[in-house]
Amino acid sequence: MSVAQALWNSLQNEVQCSDVALARVEQAGGLSTLVCLLRTILGPAEDAFGQLLTDLLAGRRVVEVVERDDGCVFTGEPDWYLATFRSWWSQERRAMRFVRGRVLDLGCGAGRVGLHLQSRGHEVVGIDVSPLAVEIARQRGLADARLGTLDSSLRAGEHFDTILLLGNNLGLLAGERQGRHFLRKLARTATDRGRILAGSYDPYDGASELASGYHARNRARGRMGGVERLRVRYRQYATPWYDVLFASREEVARLVEGTGWVASRFVDDGAGYVAVLDLDAKLRRRLVESS
C-alpha cells in the first residue's frame, strides 16, 4: 500500500507534537508504503492514501497527514507520488541502472516507478493493499497491478530478478525480527540472480533533539532506534497503526546477514540512500529447501 511515501520530503514539512511545539523536520526522505506489514487489503474507511491520491489526480489541493504514536503530526504535499523520472530523488534515479529482468514493485501506489521501468521494456508486477491506488495505477497504464499482499498476490512458482522497496520502502522491514523474516521471504521470491533496491535514509544523521529522544525511547524498549509507529490520515479516513523502519547503512548491512542477501553497495545522496542487496544464491537454495 502506498500509505505515505513522504513523511519527510524535500519540501521540509512542518511537525506538530503533543506539547504544541512546532519544529522543522531536518531529514529529507519519505515514508514507506508498507504493503505487507498491514497484512490485509484496506477497507473503505482505512484507505486514506487511495482517497488522497484520487483527489490529487482530480486537481484538488491535498495535504497528507502522518501521525506518530508519541503525538507528533507530520504534514506534506503529496505531489511526489506522481513525480516523473526527472523529479525523483537523485539516489533513486541513479539506482535505476541496477534494475534487471522481471521486476516486483512492492507498494506500487499510483505506479510512479513501475510505469517508468515498464517504458524501458521491463515486465513489472506492482502490488498494493490500497484498492483505490491499484485502480489508479491500472488507469495510468501499469499493465500488471495487483491488489493484495505479497502472500496473496503472487502466483505459485512466480519469481523476480529485481524487487523494489523504493520511496523509503525499506521501512517494510519494520524492525530486526520482522525484517529478517521478510527478507528471507523475499529471497524465496527472487530468481538466482535476484536483487533488491531498497530506499531509506539514516535517521541519526543530523537528528534533532526530538528525533534523538524518540530513538532512545525505542532502544529502551528493545527496538531498533529508527522504528516509527505511524498511521496516515486524510479527511475522515485513517489507516491502521503500523511500524516502519528507517536505518543507517551499517544497520542495513547487519540486518541482512543470514537472510540470503548481501549489501553490495549504497547509492547515496546525503542522509538518503538506495541499498543494493544482491542474493547469495547458495544461501537462498538452503532457505528454499528448509521452507
Confidence bin at 269 (pLDDT 50/70/90): confident
User: Are the C-beta atoms of residues 73 and 63 closer than 8 Å to each other?
Assistant: no
Q: Is residue 21 scored above 70 in pLDDT?
A: no
Beta-strand runs (E) in the chain:
14-16, 22-24, 64-68, 73-76, 103-106, 124-128, 145-147, 160-165, 190-201, 227-234, 237-238, 242-245, 261-269, 272-279
Cα separation of 255 and 171, whole Å? 13
User: Residue 40 — pLDDT band, cuts 50, 70, 90?
Assistant: confident
Beta bridge partners of 163: 104, 196
Name the burial class of residue 144, with classes exposed (0-12), middle (13-18) and buried (19+) by CB atoms within 10 angstroms of its CB.
middle
Q: In sequence order, which residues have a C-beta less than 8 Å from that of residue 97 and are 6 or more positions away? A: none
Which comes out higher in pLDDT, residue 26 or 43? 43
How far are the Cα atoms of 144, 200, 207, 233, 238 from residue 74, in angstroms, in the given order? 32, 17, 16, 10, 14
Pairing of strands 227-234, 64-68: antiparallel
- Pick from 35-49, 64-78, 219-233: least confident: 35-49
Angle at 65 between CA 135 and CA 227, to 5 degrees: 95
Helix (H, G, I), strand (E, B) or coil at 243: strand
pLDDT, tens only, 189-238: 999 999 999 999 999 999 999 999 999 999 999 999 999 999 999 999 99
- Give the pLDDT confidence score for residue 26 in this predicted structure: 29
Give φ, ψ of 74 to 5 degrees.
-110, 135
Query: pLDDT tier at 30 (50, 70, 90 boundaries)?
Result: very low
Given pLDDT bands bounded at 50, 70 and 90, which one contains residue 288?
A: low
Task: Answer whether residue 14 shows pLDDT above 60.
Answer: no
Average pLDDT over residues 76-99: 93
Q: 140: helix, coil or strand? A: coil
112-to-6, 43, 93, 133, 160 alpha-carbon distances in Å: 13, 23, 12, 11, 19
At 65, list the grid cell. 497527514
- 14-290 belongs to which CATH class? alpha beta
Instruction: Place 248 in a pLDDT band, splitting at 50, 70 and 90.
Output: very high
Q: What percent of the chain has pLDDT over 90?
A: 73
pLDDT at 285 over 90: no
133, containing H or E segment = helix 131-139
Segment 161-172 mean pLDDT: 93
Which amino acid is it at 115?
A: L
Across 120-127, average pLDDT: 97
Residue ranges covered by each domain of the chain: 14-290
Task: Report the interhelical angle of 131-139 vs 48-57 (nearest 10°).
Answer: 30
3-state secondary structure of 213: helix
Polymer length of the chain: 291
Those residues with Cβ within 8 angstroms of residue 9's Cβ, 6 or more apart along the chain or in another chain: 28, 29, 30, 76, 77, 80
